[in-house]
Amino acid sequence: MGLLSDPNRRRALISMLTRLNAPICVVCYLAGVAWFMGLAFEPFTLRTYMSENAMGSTMVEERFPAGERALATGREFAAHKNKVGGMPVDWLVKTMQDRGLEVFTQSFSRTLPFPDENKERYIVKGTNVYGILRAPRAPRTEALVLSAPCSPGDNNQAVGLLLGLAQYFRNQIYWAKDIIFLVNEHDLIGMQAWLEGYHHTNTTGMSWSPLQGRGGSIQAALTLELSSDVITSLDLVLEGLNGQLPNLDLANLFYAFCQKIGVLCTIQGKLQRNDWDSVSGYSHAVQTMMLMVMKQASGRPWGDHGLFLRYHIEAATVKGINSFRQYKTDVTTIGRLLEGMYRKLNNLLERLHQSYFFYLMPSLSHFVSIGYYMPAFGLLAVILLLRALDLWVQLATPPSRTEDGIADIDQSSPGVLSVLTPLVISHLTGVALYTLPIHFQETAVEHFPVSETEAVVLTAIAIYTAGLALPHNTHRLLSGEGTEQGWRVLKLVAVLYLAVLLGCTALINFSLGFILALTMVPLAAFVTPHVPKVLSAFILVILSPACTLLFSVFFFQELQEMPVSFQDGWLLYLSVISQGILDHSLYGSLVYPLIALLVYPCWLLFWNILFWK
């Protein structure tokens, strides 16, 4: 007889499953965490290599000469920016036209749902200026983008370098794609307006004027952030909207050129170390990888490039960092590096697709691909499945004792209705958490002495905390109050729901899925109505998404070597929540709706289970 059809064997298997469930779950959890930590260990990673044949090696001759002139242009740009008090549109248009580009402008405006206190803006109006360098002999079917955001006060050198490169590129005849030089105002908002105008979509409710000039489908884009005349290192920023990453070949290209030209290059602002076998070297790699995980999990674009990724355009941000080092690199060298990168991107025949789209980088020269990091999440998801199997077994076996008639009756009745009520109520709370903070900000501002942003954030936290009081209220609506079968059915549904939710999240944004799994899987596994109430309630609150976010904020600051005190951390936490809500309405970031509409109700279900009786 087969393994599963033989009743004896089946019973033995099931009894082993129920007996060993908790130990296997603990082992899986520890294994998952250990696997994740082991990813940064260098022998387990792979060296980066160029996968795209057309880009080949770095054998081009870079001849960009005009670094000083670029700096002078940047100073002129700064002066005009101060004079106008915003973006000097006319000066930019004239300068780009002098360099032989086809110049166009786009105006846009957007009213944020509530004021953004970090960047101090509420009603945003701006203009993007972009110039197209037409390929001398090629049809206008493909384009590359070089952009620099116009921020008040800095990034002047980047705009100067952009204009200098535009002049140099204009004199070359080997361009096979159009190159678009873009200076966008109000960084991400302007970039979103430009991209929406370019691709004729309108997903975020912004109003913009249509683009007069286009350049074909964009193959790759680079954003420049440069605020000093000399730099000591170049930092590469990859994380984009919703944790999307550009193709690894773009990072490989950057690294290859850094090595060829001899510029110090970093990722996450951390230098590379060679001593991977020492403890400090390993912890350095872990820190770099955790920074990337944190940034990816936040789902916000960490540079203007982050918005390109949604349109399947590989993009990255190159930041110039000037720290206290002896060896300085001047703007001409940066120009040469960018020239080399663009010549190689020029050789592309099709979009970058040969290398990985899902990866983690513990350093700029090593990477971990999805095939290596997914088992870490898989081990955590297995815990949920084991728990679900255990509950299924418990539900299927008849109860060994029948105390009174109520248990008997409830055993035979389908538990669907009793499960539906907590589900609906939890999701309604989630919907409330999603919609109410923004809708009721005016009422809150009337009644409390807070600003709109604070009102929104505090309303969100209030609704979140109010959800904790739910179990006491929902039980009045429940028919089968406090039955043994009831909570098992609910937990089964909740565990499977969590498994599917976390699985789907991890596929798209592994970091977010993994961090949520780290906290939610243990609580999903151990919570029953029979555990000690006060302690478990405390643990459940600690492991809830909101507290995970709080701890992540502190942890992130620690990783960046800028630890904050508790008050500053709390304020930072509030601003993170407000940024998350703003990102969702401005750029379509999915982290806030995911947490509010799906993860929080799931957590509420477990809270319901805890207070089942």
Partner 1 sequence: MKILTLLGLFSACFSAHSINIENSAGQFFSSGHTNNWAVLVCTSRFWFNYRHVANTLSVYRSVKRLGIPDSHIVLMLADDMACNHRNPKPATVFSHKNMELNVYGDDVEVDYRGYEVTVENFLRVLTGRLPPSTPRSKRLLSDDRSNILIYLTGHGGNGFLKFQDSEEISNVELADAFEQMWQKRRYNELLFIIDTCQGASMYERFYSPNIMALASSQVGEDSLSHQPDLAIGVHLMDRYTFYLLEFLEDIHPASKTNMNDLFKVCPKSQCVSTPGHRTDLFLRDPGSVLITDFFGSVRKVELTMEAINLTDPIKQVEENPVNGEGQKEVYSYTDQLPVSEIIHQKPKQKDWHPPDGFILGLWTLILLVFFKTYGIKHLKHIF
Q: Which residues bind partner 1 (CB under 8 A)?
A: 53-54, 56-57, 59-61, 135-138, 172-176, 343-344, 346-347, 349
* Torsion angles phi and psi, residue 180, rounded to 5: -105, 125
Whole-angstrom distance, CA of residue 435 vs CA of residue 423:
18
Min dist CB 172 to partner 1, Å, is: 7
Nearer residue to partner 1 within complex by CB, 59 or 396 = 59
H or E element that contains 359? strand 359-363
H or E element that contains 221? strand 217-225
Whole-angstrom distance, CA of residue 577 vs CA of residue 582:
9
59: left (phi over 0), alpha (psi -120 to 50) or beta: beta
Q: Between β-strands 265-267 and 314-321, what pairing exists: parallel, antiparallel or unpaired? A: unpaired
Nearer residue to partner 1 within complex by CB, 180 or 195 = 180
Whole-angstrom distance, CA of residue 496 vs CA of residue 3:
25
Min dist CB 333 to partner 1, Å, is: 17
Nearer residue to partner 1 within complex by CB, 54 or 450 = 54
C-alpha angle with apex 427: 421 to 431, nearest 5 degrees?
140
Min dist CB 490 to partner 1, Å, is: 45
Min dist CB 59 to partner 1, Å, is: 4
Nearer residue to partner 1 within complex by CB, 9 or 63 = 63
Min dist CB 174 to partner 1, Å, is: 4
322 SS3 class: coil
Nearer residue to partner 1 within complex by CB, 197 or 340 = 340
Nearer residue to partner 1 within complex by CB, 176 or 450 = 176
Min dist CB 128 to partner 1, Å, is: 28
Helices 370-396 & 510-526 angle (0-180, nearest 10): 20
Structure tokens at 384: 């949920």
Structure tokens at 142: 């493909």
H or E element that contains 193? helix 187-199
Min dist CB 434 to partner 1, Å, is: 50
Cβ 600 vs Cβ 433: under 8 Å: yes
Question: What is the three-state SS of 63-122?
Answer: CCCCHHHHHHHHHHHHHHHHHHCCCCHHHHHHHHHHCCCEEEEEEEEEEEEEEECCCCEE
Nearer residue to partner 1 within complex by CB, 348 or 383 = 348
Nearer residue to partner 1 within complex by CB, 57 or 400 = 57
Min dist CB 57 to partner 1, Å, is: 8
Nearer residue to partner 1 within complex by CB, 228 or 347 = 347
303 SS3 class: coil
Min dist CB 138 to partner 1, Å, is: 4
